Structure 1
Amino acid sequence: MERNETERLRHVYWIGGGSGAGKSTVAAALADRYGLRLYGTDESMPDHAKRTTAAEAPHLHRFAAMTMDERWLDRSPEVMLETFHWFRGEAFHLIVEDLLAMPKDRGIVVEGFRLLPHLVAPLLADPTRAVWLLPSPEFRAWAVDKRAKETRRPGFIEQTSDPERAGRNLAERERMFADRLRIETRELGLQTITVDAAVSESEAVHRVADLFGLR
C-alpha cells in the first residue's frame, strides 16, 4: 500500500472482528452520533463477488459453485476456515477502492469481519483508528439465535441436509477465526475489545468511541 493511499484513508475508522460481536450495531451508532459516513463490508460482498475473476479470487469462485452440503457438511471446520475466501482477504482491495472513491467531507466508519488485521494494519496512519470486537463463543451463539428470531427467516444452515451438524461446523469455524484474530491483533499491536454477556451494546459503543478518541 502506497503511503499516499494511507494518508488518503486517515479519516477512516475501522471496526473488524468475529461474527455476532455487534460490529454493525456499534458502527451504526457511531455514525449516527458523530456524523460519520457508514460503510458495511457485508453489504458490499455481492457486488465485490461480481467484480472479481476466478484468477483474482479462486476460493470465492470455488465456494460459489458448491452446494450447501459441500460448503457446510462435506468439509471439516479447519478446511472451511482455511479456504473461506473472505478470510483469505480475497477482494479486500475492492473495499479499499470503495473507500478511496467516497467523498472526504466527513469521517467514514467501516465495519465487517472482512477487515483482517494484517490487511488493515498497513493502511493505518494512526493505529488508534482501528479496533476488533472479539465475541466469546457463548455470546456469539446468543447473538446468532437472537438475530434469527428477530428476522424470522431460515438461515443458510437450514438449507443443508443436516442443519444441526452444519451449525456445529460453522460454530467451530467461527471460534477458530476469532482465535486467529486474537493472535494476529496481539502480534500487530492492534486494539481489541472482548464482547460477552457482561458488555451491553451501549457500553460497547462507548468503549469504541473512547478508543477512537471520539468522546
Structure 2
Amino acid sequence: MSMNERWVDRSPETMLDTFHWFRGEGFRFIVDDLLHWSDDTGVIVEGFRLLPQLVAPLLTERRRGVWLLPSPGFRRAAFDKRGWEIPGKTGDPDRAARNLLERDRLFTERLREENARLGLPVLDVDTVSEHDLTETVGRMLGLGGSGSEDEERRGCEGEG
C-alpha cells in the first residue's frame, strides 16, 4: 500500500483490525527471548505486542502484569515530542495524524476492556513525570514502595 492508502484512505477501525502486532503476531518471539533469562532475574517487558489475553496465562500472579493505558492527550504529546514521520509522508498529514491517533485510542479501549474481562491491572497515564510513573508501576508490581492500588492510580492521573 502507498502511505495514503495505509494512513489516509482507510478508517482507523480498519487500521486497528488489520495491524498484525495488535493481533499477537511476534508474541512468541518475546516469550522465547524471556525463557533464556534465569529464574532469579527480574524482567520488565513492555510493548503493544503484549496483549492481555496472551500474557495472562503466563502470569504466576495477576498483579505481576500492569498495562499502561495512555490518554489521547498523552499519546498526542508523545507523538509531538518524538516527531511525526508517518503523517508527513502522506498527501494529507492532518488526516493521517487524526487516523493514527484514533486507531491508537481504539486500541487502548480494546486493552481496557480485555484487562477488565481478565481481571488484570491497568494504569491510566496522562501527564506524569517518568520518575512518578516508574515509582507507581514499581509499587503495583510489588517491587517496593507503599500505598494502596487506588492511591497509586490516582497518583498518575492529572499530574504534570
Q: TM-score range by the shorter chain?
A: 0.7 to 0.9
**Is there any run of 5+ residues in structure 1 with no aligned partner, and where?**
1-65, 149-153
**Alignment equivalent of 1:185, drawn from 106, 111, 115:** 115
Where does residue 3 of structure 2 map in the other structure?
A: 68
Cα drift, residue 104 of structure 1? 4.0
* TM-score, scaled to structure 1: 0.63
- Identify the structure with bigger relative contact order (alpha carbons < 8 Å, sequence gap 6+): 1
CA contact (8 A) 2:53 2:114 kept: yes
Amino acid at match of 2:58: L
Where does residue 202 of structure 1 map in the other structure?
A: 131
**Alignment equivalent of 2:69, drawn from 127, 130, 134:** 134
* TM-score, scaled to structure 2: 0.84
Where does residue 20 of structure 2 map in the other structure?
A: 85
**Alignment equivalent of 1:155, drawn from 85, 100, 109:** 85
**Alignment equivalent of 1:94, drawn from 19, 29, 43:** 29
Amino acid at match of 1:202: H
**Is there any run of 5+ residues in structure 2 with no aligned partner, and where?**
145-160
Q: Does 2:147 align with 1:212? A: no
Cα drift, residue 102 of structure 1? 3.2
Moved over 3 A (4+): 102-105
Matched residue pairs, number? Answer: 144
* Whole-angstrom distance in 2 between the partners of 1:192 and 1:174: 16
Secondary structure, in 3 states, of the residue corresponding to 1:110?
coil
The sequence identity of aligned pairs, in percent, is 58
**Between structures 1 and 2, the one with greater strand share:** 1
**Alignment equivalent of 1:164, drawn from 67, 70, 94:** 94
Amino acid at match of 1:76: S
Cα drift, residue 200 of structure 1? 2.4
Amino acid at match of 1:212: L
- Cα RMSD of the aligned pairs, angstroms, is 1.4
Q: Does 2:43 align with 1:146? A: no
**Alignment equivalent of 2:56, drawn from 95, 98, 121:** 121
Secondary structure, in 3 states, of the residue corresponding to 1:101?
coil
